[in-house]
């Protein structure tokens, strides 16, 4: 039983947390793809930027004495950070992508432009914050929650940190809000219509410019949220999201580019695949050692820990071969 709880802590909890971060990031990528038809590479750096905005706000809040013992300051300032990041995202569109769209540039050009944006944001972040590591928890402590399991002979507890619990709740709220927005509100329906067929949407009187703006607002806010969650879970550094933008793209593609619900599914799929594949299965096999015909090795992971990041791509490649537009049918560029 202890082994099962170890499995739960290392795979289920970690998978849910990682999956939430991937899902929130992938929704932004997939929305931008659905509306503007290009892969927005700078999403990872929008995440990092959002995390740094939240970090600065948290520092300011701590300095002003606005803290509560209930929630980490990072979560307290998250709404403001999301608001600011949404503004920055709108500014990025106006400064970098809108002029190209106006010229009638192909989506590929926008993709290359987004790499320029990636480099600019990353350069600026490194200019101001150096290349060191920062933490939200230098003053506060990360609270560990232990839940004992009421079974006989069980000594292990189910462990997770308070930020992890909060970020799963935040993800659930964000996903629910997005669902209500997309299915109930006029603007959300307009967005889905435009993702389906932009020309038809424009002809039927939908304000496509407004839809584009709303897309950037949502994507920017979600990017800030995903970035802050990631920074709260691990640590904050300038290339924080650069490594994670690729699994996020993998999640968005696996779910089908342009499909918001697909992105959520893809995010959790990739998150769980990563934690499952680096889990040491020997722990689960050891109690059965007497019944097994072979000797249980000390470590038995599907892939060594160093290769964790490659799992996402292997899944990506397999999905692309097996169903080229993703599990849920995705849009084409």
Give residues in contact with another protein (CB under 8 A). Answer: 33, 38-39, 96, 99-100, 103, 105, 107-109, 111-113, 115-124, 126-127, 130-131, 242, 246, 249-250, 253, 257, 304, 306-307, 309-310, 312-314, 316-317, 320-321, 324, 332-333
Nearer to another protein, 122 or 275 (CB): 122
Q: How far is the CB of 270 from another protein (least distance, A)?
A: 12
Given the complex with another protein, which of 19 and 238 has the nearer CB atom?
A: 238
Q: How far is the CB of 306 from another protein (least distance, A)?
A: 4
The least distance separating another protein from the CB of residue 119, rounded to whole angstroms, comes to: 3
Q: How far is the CB of 17 from another protein (least distance, A)?
A: 22
Contact 54, 74 (CB under 8 A): yes
Q: Which is nearer to another protein, 290 or 332 (CB)?
A: 332
Number of residues that make up the chain: 333
Minimum gap (Å) between residue 79 Cβ and another protein: 29
Q: Specify whether the CB–CB gap between 109 and 211 falls below 8 A.
A: no
Of 255, 313, 269, which is closest to residue 33 (Cα–Cα)? 255
Considering the complex, state which of residue 284 and residue 320 has its C-beta at the smaller distance from another protein: 320
Q: Closer to another protein by CB, 138 or 306: give it.
A: 306
Taking the least distance from each CB to another protein, the nearer of 91 and 116 is 116
β-pairing, 157-161 vs 144-148, is antiparallel
**Separation CA 224–CA 125 (nearest Å):** 14
Query: In angstroms, rounded to a whole number, what is the distance separating the alpha carbons of residues 317 and 321?
Result: 6
Residue 257 three-state SS: coil
Is 277 within 8 Å of 306 (Cβ atoms)? Answer: no
Place of tokens 């040491």: 280
Token pair 């002979």 in the structure block, residue: 153
Phi/psi of residue 144, each to 5°?
-100, 130
Nearer to another protein, 183 or 333 (CB): 333
| Minimum distance of another protein from residue 44's CB (angstroms) | 11
Q: List, in order, residues 6 or more apart from 61 with CB less than 8 Å away.
A: 67, 73, 76, 77
Which of 185, 305 has the CB closer to another protein? 305
Sequence-ordered strand ranges (E) for the chain:
144-148, 157-161
Closest CB 163 distance from another protein, rounded Å = 28
CB of 180 to another protein, least distance (A): 29
Phi and psi at 272, nearest 5°, equal -70, -40
Q: What are 158's strand-pairing partners?
A: 147
């Amino acid at each position: 039983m202890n082994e099962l709880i170890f499995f739960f802590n290392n795979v289920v909890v970690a998978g849910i947390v990682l999956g939430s971060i991937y899902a929130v990031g992938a929704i932004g990528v997939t929305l931008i793809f659905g509306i503007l038809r290009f892969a927005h590479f700078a999403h990872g750096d929008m995440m990092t930027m959002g995390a740094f905005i939240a970090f600065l706000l948290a520092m300011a809040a701590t300095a002003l004495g606005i803290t509560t013992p209930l929630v980490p300051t990072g979560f307290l300032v998250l709404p403001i950070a999301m608001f600011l990041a949404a503004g920055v995202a709108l500014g990025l569109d106006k400064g970098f992508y809108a002029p190209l769209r106006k010229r009638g540039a192909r989506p590929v050009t926008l993709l290359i432009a987004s790499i320029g944006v990636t480099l600019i944001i990353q350069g600026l972040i490194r200019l101001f914050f150096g290349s060191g590591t920062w933490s939200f928890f230098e003053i506060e402590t990360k609270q560990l929650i232990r839940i004992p399991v009421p079974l006989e002979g069980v000594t292990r507890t189910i462990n997770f940190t308070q930020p992890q619990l909060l970020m799963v709740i935040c993800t659930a709220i964000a996903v629910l809000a997005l669902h209500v927005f997309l299915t109930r509100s006029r603007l959300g329906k307009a967005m889905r219509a435009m993702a389906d067929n932009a020309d038809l949407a424009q002809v039927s009187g939908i304000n496509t410019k407004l839809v584009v703006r709303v897309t950037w607002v949502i994507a920017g806010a979600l990017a800030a949220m995903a970035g802050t969650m990631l920074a709260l879970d691990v640590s904050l550094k300038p290339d924080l999201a650069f490594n994670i933008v690729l699994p996020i793209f993998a999640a968005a593609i696996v779910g089908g580019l342009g499909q918001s619900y697909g992105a959520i599914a893809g995010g959790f799929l990739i998150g769980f695949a990563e934690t499952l594949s680096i889990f040491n299965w020997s722990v689960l096999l050891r109690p059965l050692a007497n019944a097994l015909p072979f000797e249980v090795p000390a470590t038995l992971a599907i892939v060594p820990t160093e290769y964790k990041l490659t799992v996402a791509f292997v899944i990506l490649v397999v999905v692309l071969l097996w169903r080229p537009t993703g599990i849920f049918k995705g849009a084409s560029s």
